[in-house]
Amino acid sequence: MRIFGRIINADGVKHWGVDYMDPQTGKRIRKLISPNKKQAEAVLAKIRTSILETGYFETNKIKNRSFVDASAEYLKFVKQSKKSYTSDEFTLRTFGAFSSESTGNKPISELLLSEITTKATEDFKLFRSRGKEKATVNRALAVLKHFFNCCIEWGYTDENPVRKVKLYKLSDGKTRFLENDEIEALLLACDKADTRAKHLKPIVVIALNTGMRRGEILGMKWKDIDSKRGIIYTGITKNGERLKKQMNSNVSRALEGLTAFRDKGDKFYIDEYVFRNKDGKPIIDIKRSFNTALAVAGIENATFHTLRHTFASHLMMKTGNIMMVKEALGHNTLKMTERYSHLSPGYKQKAIEDLYEKKDGTNMAQNEVNENKVKADY
């Protein structure tokens, strides 16, 4: 960073300029200022001060990005590693469309990252809480928190406005699941809820008998079904292993009532997706018809995810085998499955009771006690 002099005309008058490196672009800048050397020195001093104030070193430089640009880059990043990519995409899209007084009544998508405040995220939290479960809102806040943490790590901003936003406290009470009479009422209601939604009942049957998530069922393709082995493939793990769900007779019968073939006028199609619309495209959502079925059945405080809890709860009550439930749900850790452990209070007792039981049904420990009693009698 210096000044330099140059004679630029025939009269021999020297002009003075500045020569420096722009820290933002990394380009060298040489610029003539004035025939007056002191004026050139004054300009150079202002440039030096400006650079120092905004941060000369790359480590101190904040690239103040827009929310739209940063969210697009974030989604590319998470798509490579997260199964919940579509959930992240929905959360950022919803957050971007949100506006309030704390955003200057502008959609967040029109703001820079530095303009998004803690108050704005608090307002968004309240907005998302209307008609939504607290756990759903907490998951959305977790996505936003991770998004801003990534932006800080990438140097796009220096603040995380979600950091001070408190999550909702979730109840530690029992997990909601459907009792047998509720299951029967729901299946009957599926036929009455919407005559156009003929796909609803088989979807509910599959969820109740496999524990598959809504997205897994709606995204299911005919090639994912192995009827001979009774298996539905639901994806691939990071290790390249195929995820699968075991089918029972209820699921098999539900699938037998469906077909991959579709006639449209004089044309014949073989569709890829099991549950698709009249154009062969996958059904995106069943919220309206499912909620109608719940209302017809008189079932309250339930969502589609309740069907997954129902599958796990009844499997636990029937088998008492928490490892079987863990495997059936595809949980990574046992801690995720422990919420169902209280549903089988007699399981531990039965395990202890049968601890020394031999194949013939006799109990080795009890036999020893009986033998000692016989000897004492003599």
112-135 burial, b at 16+ Cβ within 10 Å, e below that, comes to ebebbeeebbbbbbeebeeeeeee
- Return the SS3 of 7: strand
- Do the Cβ atoms of 353 and 185 come closer than 8 Å? no
- Do the Cβ atoms of 231 and 247 come closer than 8 Å? yes
Tokens 């549950």 sit on residue: 275
| Structural tokens at position 191 | 């036929």
Query: Of how many residues is the chain composed?
Result: 378
DSSP character string of 30-49? EEEEES-HHHHHHHHHHHHH
Per DSSP, helices labelled H in 221-286 are 249-256
Question: Which residue ranges make up each domain of the chain?
Answer: 2-60, 67-153, 180-342, 346-378
Q: What is the gyration radius of the CA atoms in the chain, in angstroms?
A: 33
Mean pLDDT in each 10-residue stretch from start to end of the chain (378 residues)?
76 81 69 85 84 54 78 88 76 94 93 93 93 85 93 89 88 74 92 75 94 91 91 74 87 87 73 86 88 91 92 89 90 85 64 59 50 47
- Closest-CA residue to 117 (of 70, 163, 168): 163
| Structural tokens at position 170 | 């979730």
pLDDT score recorded for residue 24: 60
- Closest-CA residue to 20 (of 7, 6, 31, 5): 31
Query: What is the side-by-side order of every strand in the sheet holding 28-34?
Result: 2-7, 14-21, 28-34
Output the pTM of the full model: 0.54
Q: 180-342 architecture in CATH?
A: Orthogonal Bundle (1.10)
pLDDT score recorded for residue 29: 81
Q: List residues bridging with 18 in a β-sheet.
A: 3, 31
| Structural tokens at position 372 | 């000692």
- Closest-CA residue to 175 (of 37, 347, 310, 22): 310
| Structural tokens at position 288 | 């309206």
CA distance 120 to 98: 9
